[in-house]
Each structure stands twice: as structure tokens, then as C-alpha cells.
Chains A and B, each alone.
Chain A
Amino acid sequence: MTNSDTILAVKGLGKSFGSLVAVDDVSFTIRRGEILGIAGPNGAGKTTLFNLLSRNPIVADRGHVIFDGQRIDRLSPHRIFRAGLARTFQKETAFFKLTVAENVRLGAVYGAGLRGAAANAAVNAALEMLELTPLKHQEAGALTVYGTKRLMIASAMVASPKLLLMDEPASGLNTIEQAELKTLILRLRDQGTSILLIEHILPLLFGVSERVMVMDFGRKLTEGSPAEIARDPRVIDAYLGGVNSESAHAA
């Protein structure tokens, strides 16, 4: 199943909350240097899948996860982070009364376990990468929405992860910022970081992803190139709630 070209291999991952199956037998792989997009309607289990992969804040009931040749589904969240799998969160996890640099430093010190000069160097590199250096002494609360998004990415990138899980990074951004984010995501990929991207803004998702996996009701519905996904009737049904198929039957 896994080879040296595979950075992440997920097999039969599942999570239930009582009788609700939030993630149901999901399997997929990501190649090194690849951007794999994840699409699906609200409640499809996308963010829960991220939570299970990072074991933060919940853990899977079943299945296993092999990251960079190592099984990680029993590691603690900070060990997973230090192994090279970082994530950003859908909700804002910035500390608004801390400076931009202090926010990233928290990721370096607590997430990546760096100390002293190594932490300082990692913080400066992450700030530079996300073009936040001029704002490093500013309180995070004074940042724009896009600035906050970049700060959250910088806090994750401070550990130089091999794989970055990004949860709806474009939510709340205008079209110009979305275009900048697209460039940024591609740049992160070009610098060697594989990316697993959840995004509702499909032009952005399809514009950066080599492959797209679609989820619905906690299950993996399908997987393919953006062009294949865009014309897959099951995907259209999942997004439109069956309107398409009902229309087709009516016709």
C-alpha cells in the first residue's frame, strides 16, 4: 500500500459519536509533493477526518494512518506534529493579544519543540515565508482576516512540516485574497510541503489540487482529477441534495 513516494496512507479510518457515524471507513493516499483536495457538503465529515489524522482533539475508533512510513494513529498530537504533520484549523486559533511573532513562537516552542536560537530561526523563516515579517511586532488582533489566515499557516509551517492539513483557509476572503492564497498554497507545495486541503470554494480547490476526494455522510464518495470530479453526477447530487437526479428523473 505504501511506498517511498507516498507521504500519507489512510486505511479504513472511522469515528462514531453514539449512533452517528461521522467518518466511515475512509481510505486514501497522498503522494509526496501532491495537493489533494477534499470537497463535500457541510457535515460530510471533512473536518472530523482532519481531527482524526492529527488526533486533535479526537481520536479514531478504527483504521490506521501511516505517515512517512510510520504508523501515527497511536501517537499524541504533539508527536504527530513533530513527526511532520501539521494542520490549520477552520476556526481562528490565533491569540489576538499576543504579537504576530509570539503566536508563531508558540507553534515553534510547543508544537515543534524547538528551543532558543533554533526556535528564533524557525519563527523568522515562517514569518518570512508568509510575508508577515513587517507585522511581527503587531498584535494579532489588529490583522486582517487574510493576515490572520496567514498567521495560522505560519504557526503550522514553523515546524517545516512534510504534510500540511489546511481546513477551509479561504473562508471569509475576498476574490483578490483568494487568488493570493492560491499562489501561496502552490508556493508551499513547490517548496516541498505536501498539502491536504479542505475547501468549499471549488474554483480555488480545483485550481490547486492534482486530485480531489469528495466526502458525503462521512464516507468517501469518489476521487479523481478536478475535471473528473466536476462532471461526476454523484458529486453534483451530493452538493445539490439530489435536485439534479430528481430533475433528470422528471425530465
Chain B
Amino acid sequence: MSSVIVAGLVSGSIYALIASGLSLVWGALGVFNFAHGALLMAGAFVAWFVSDPAGLDLGLTAGVLTSMIFMIAAGGVLYVLLVRPWLGKPAAELTVIMTTVAGAMFLENLALYTFGARLKALDQVVTGTVSVAGTAMQAQNLLVIVLAPVLLGGLALFLKLSKHGLAIRAIAQNDEAARLLGIRIERTYFLTFAVSALLAGVAGVMIGGLFNITPSMGSDPLLRAFLVVVFGGLGSLPGTVIAAYLIGLIEAASSYYIGIYWTPVVLFSVLILVLLVRPNGLLGRAP
């Protein structure tokens, strides 16, 4: 039972980090970034390349810090190249799906070409096992469980209290009124993508410390994050976080008690039933 909860919390933590970035972009710009999973992969690869003896061998701290800086820049560049040219044009939402899918494919193949197909893994930030309330778990798992809420809390405070966070929330509701108030929309969109990519990078580093790093490692988390965002309510950060942990726990419980092959059936049954009752998701509101 306790191991199921630990597994659910680890998955939920990672889903929450990925999905909150996705939700942030959706809320502010109304577009879905299909390159979000590839950003996660890029964050893991950069951290690995800088830290691993097969790369620059500068140590894990340097790898993680470099990855975070790289992700902020990567998010901004992705926005400028793949999203900004289409905003305000007819069917921008559909065009951005195509451009970000193309961006994801480019990044994945770039990683494959540059680093090869051999499986890689990041060193764990903390090693060994710890016992919490009588439950033994990997120290890295505990770090993920503790760090994710801290980062999500930081994100919530940034959105609630900072000037730029207030602007992101304002634009998410009424970009025209925000423009009239003097908020620089494009700069805020850029920032939104940078923050979103940073969260994806953190998730990539976490996954890289627990599992393998591969060029396609972002595909499955992206699908999960999409489910989380819809389940939680489009654009709702609290809904996204709650949904992430619920899905993580449902998956873990279903895999343990029913079987891993039945997990998608159980998960999608729950999601569909909830969305039938609450079509806008757990905390989403009617547009």
C-alpha cells in the first residue's frame, strides 16, 4: 500500500511539473505546445552532457544549472520561431500544433543524431534509501516528492505576487484589455514559454535521474500531461496539480492491484466519467 502511494506521488509530482508548464502556455496563449515533451528531453540531455564523463564531465550541479539556463532560452526561442509568427492569424491554434509537432520531431532527431541511440542516465542527486513513516524508498524518489510541491508553490507565488505573474494571469483572461493597460503582450508570452520550458527541464532532470534518457523520452509524459491539463480544467493551475497527483495515484494503484495492462482502461474510464459530470474538468470553468 505504502509503496503504491510512493509510486503515485512520484509520478504525480513529475506529471504536475510537466502539465503546469503546458497549462500555463495554454492559459496565456490558447495554444497547445506539442514540443513540450521534447523540451523535457532536451533538459535531460543537456544536464547529462554537461555532467557525465562521456560529455563535459563538469559534475551534476553544473549539469543541472546549465540545463535550467538552457531551458529558459530554449522556451523563448521556441516561442519566437514556432509560435509568434502565427499568433493573431486565422486558425493559429491548428498551425501552432503543426509547428510545435515539427519542432518536437526536429529536437528528437537532433538528439538522436548528436548523442546516438544508446540509453543514458543522469546521476542521482541523492543516493541510497530512506525510511519515511515506516516506508522505505529511494532518496531520489523522496527528493522528487518534496521538490515538486516546492517548485509548484514557487510558481504559484510567482503568478500571484510578481508583476510578471500578474501579467501572465491577466493576459490569460483578456489579452486585449491587458494590451490596453500597457502590458507588453509579446514579452509576457516569451516569459510564459521560458517558465514553461524551465518546468519541463526540471521534470526532464528528475526523470533522467530515475529512468533512462532517450530522444523519445518526452512523448509519453507529454500525453500524460495533456490528460492532466484536460482533466484538471484547461488553464487552471490548481486543477492541473490536483489532476496530476490523482492520475499518478490512479495509475500506481491500478498497476499494483489490477495489473499494468489494465491501467489505461481504468485511467481513461475514470477520466471519461469525471468529464461527463464536469465537462470543464475538475476546476475548469465554462468559457
Residues of A within 8 A of B (CB): 56-57, 77-78, 81, 89, 92-98, 102, 105-107, 109-111, 155
Is B127's CB within 8 Å of the partner chain A?
no
Whether B180 pairs with A57 at a CB distance below 8 angstroms is yes
Given A78-B182, A81-B182, A110-B183, A102-B166 contact (CB < 8 Å): yes
The one of B174, B179, B181 that contacts A111, using a Cβ cutoff of 8 Å: B181
Is B167's CB within 8 Å of the partner chain A?
yes
Whether A93 pairs with B174 at a CB distance below 8 angstroms is yes
Write the nearest CB–CB distance from A91 to chain B, whole angstroms. 8
Q: Which of A56, A78, A97 has the most CB of B within 10 A?
A: A97
Tell me what chain B mostly uses at the interface: helix, strand, loop, or mixed. Answer: helix
Distance of A109 Cα from B181 Cα, bound (Å): 10
Residues of B within 8 A of A (CB): 163, 166-167, 169-170, 173-174, 177-183
CB contacts (< 8 Å) of B180 on chain A: these are 56-57, 77, 89, 93
Whether B173 pairs with A96 at a CB distance below 8 angstroms is yes
Write the nearest CB–CB distance from B229 to chain A, whole angstroms. 17
Whether A93 pairs with B170 at a CB distance below 8 angstroms is no
Whether A110 pairs with B169 at a CB distance below 8 angstroms is no
CB contacts (< 8 Å) of A97 on chain B: these are 169, 173
Distance of A106 Cα from B166 Cα, bound (Å): 7
CB contacts (< 8 Å) of A102 on chain B: these are 166, 169
Q: Quick one: closest A residue to B173, CB to CB?
A: A95
The number of residue pairs between A and B whose CB atoms lie closer than 8 Å in the complex comes to 49
CB contacts (< 8 Å) of A92 on chain B: these are 177
Whether B179 pairs with A106 at a CB distance below 8 angstroms is no
The one of A56, A77, A81, A98 that contacts B170, using a Cβ cutoff of 8 Å: A98
Distance of A78 Cα from B182 Cα, bound (Å): 6
Q: Quick one: closest A residue to B164, CB to CB?
A: A109
Write the nearest CB–CB distance from A156 to chain B, whole angstroms. 10
Distance of A94 Cα from B167 Cα, bound (Å): 13
Given A102-B166, A106-B166, A109-B163, A93-B173 contact (CB < 8 Å): no
Write the nearest CB–CB distance from B176 to chain A, whole angstroms. 8
Q: Quick one: closest B residue to A115, CB to CB?
A: B163
Write the nearest CB–CB distance from B268 to chain A, whole angstroms. 30
Whether A155 pairs with B181 at a CB distance below 8 angstroms is yes
Whether B169 pairs with A95 at a CB distance below 8 angstroms is yes
CB contacts (< 8 Å) of A110 on chain B: these are 163, 167, 181-183
The one of B166, B174, B179 that contacts A57, using a Cβ cutoff of 8 Å: B179
Distance of A77 Cα from B182 Cα, bound (Å): 7
Write the nearest CB–CB distance from B67 to chain A, whole angstroms. 32
The one of A78, A93, A105 that contacts B166, using a Cβ cutoff of 8 Å: A105
Write the nearest CB–CB distance from B189 to chain A, whole angstroms. 15
Whether A107 pairs with B181 at a CB distance below 8 angstroms is yes
16 more contacts with CB within 8 A, not counting A97-B173, A111-B182, are A57-B180, A77-B180, A81-B182, A93-B177, A93-B180, A93-B181, A95-B169, A95-B170, A95-B177, A98-B170, A102-B166, A106-B183, A109-B163, A110-B181, A110-B182, A110-B183
Distance of A87 Cα from B182 Cα, bound (Å): 12
Whether B177 pairs with A94 at a CB distance below 8 angstroms is yes
Distance of A97 Cα from B181 Cα, bound (Å): 16
CB contacts (< 8 Å) of B166 on chain A: these are 98, 102, 105-106, 109
